[in-house]
Amino acid sequence: MRNSLLLFEKYALEHFKNNQKVFEVGVTNYSWYRRMITKDIDYYYGDLINPHSLPGGTAVRTEDGYTIDAEDNTFDIVFHCQTIEHVSKIWDWVKEQARVLKSGGKLIMICPLSFPYHLAPIDCWRIYPDGMRALFDHAGLSCDLAVCENLDEGLGVDNVDEKARIQDVFCDAPYLDSDIKRINRAWDWEVLETIGIGTKFKQAAKP
């Protein structure tokens, strides 16, 4: 989580401007990322499926997890952080987000690359920068950025205690079978996450 926030601060915050319509996907009962945005934005939010209410924003329904209840070309920015790994058909999901972006709008995605298996309610993907570029291309977006980094010194490769704590959390979960527990226990990387930022192509003017 800390590394994701640092990536968001380093690469994403500069794209938020006053009076933008911004949609955060996958937020549940609180958004640390929304708290970081100091600009006067029109904030919209939605979980993958479940409706809920947050102060200071407008809920957007995504009833089947893939169809966003919004018109084409609605938002200046769509973003989601540590959510895409819990979506099975990510190519359809990202394409639907591109649909609701305005021309010139930004799609911002952060996904763990090295992190233990964790259900919410499924866990399908770890995405390299090449994967981010492929998703943007499939959705008809240009790729402005696709990098994988660890900016959190507290979760570096040499922090044995913190990594052991994470292993314990994700190895003791009762929903895991023995093979997954073994894989999680063997996890010994620094925490790496991939951030991708894409832009919707501006539509050519009609003759």
Sketch out the chain's domains with CATH numbers. Answer: 2-152+190-200 (3.40.50.150)
Residue 166 tokens read as 């994470």
Least confident of 17-31, 84-98, 99-113, 169-183: 169-183
CA-to-CA dists, residue 72 to 82, 103, 121, 126, angstroms: 25, 10, 29, 29
Name the DSSP letter for residue 70: S
| 184 confidence band (pLDDT: 50, 70, 90) | low
Q: What percent of the chain has pLDDT over 90?
A: 55
What does the alpha-carbon distance between residue 67 and residue 179 come to, in Å, rounded to a whole number?
34
On whether the CB atoms of residues 193 and 149 are closer than 8 A, the answer is: yes
Asked whether the predicted pLDDT for residue 206 surpasses 50, the reply is: no
What does the alpha-carbon distance between residue 61 and residue 53 come to, in Å, rounded to a whole number?
11
Asked whether the predicted pLDDT for residue 158 surpasses 70, the reply is: no
Which of 13, 18, 60, 7 lies closest to 34 in space, CA to CA? 13
What does the alpha-carbon distance between residue 44 and residue 111 come to, in Å, rounded to a whole number?
21
For the chain, helix, strand, coil in percent to 5 are 30, 25, 45
Please report, as a single letter, which amino acid is at residue 178: S
Asked whether the predicted pLDDT for residue 171 surpasses 70, the reply is: no
59-68, 154-163, 173-182 — which one is most confidently predicted on average? 59-68
| 154 confidence band (pLDDT: 50, 70, 90) | low
Quick one: average pLDDT of 181-199?
77
Which of 135, 145, 111, 92 lies closest to 26 in space, CA to CA? 111
What does the alpha-carbon distance between residue 105 and residue 86 come to, in Å, rounded to a whole number?
24
| 12 confidence band (pLDDT: 50, 70, 90) | very high
Which of 96, 91, 34, 32 lies closest to 61 in space, CA to CA? 96
Mean model confidence pLDDT for the chain: 84
Residue 13 tokens read as 């915050």
Higher pLDDT, 29 or 192: 192
pTM of the model: 0.84
On whether the CB atoms of residues 69 and 61 are closer than 8 A, the answer is: yes
Handedness of CA 162, 165, 171, 175 (dihedral sign): negative
Q: What percent of the chain has pLDDT over 70?
A: 75
Find residue 199's DSSP bridge partners: 106, 142
What does the alpha-carbon distance between residue 109 and residue 25 come to, in Å, rounded to a whole number?
10
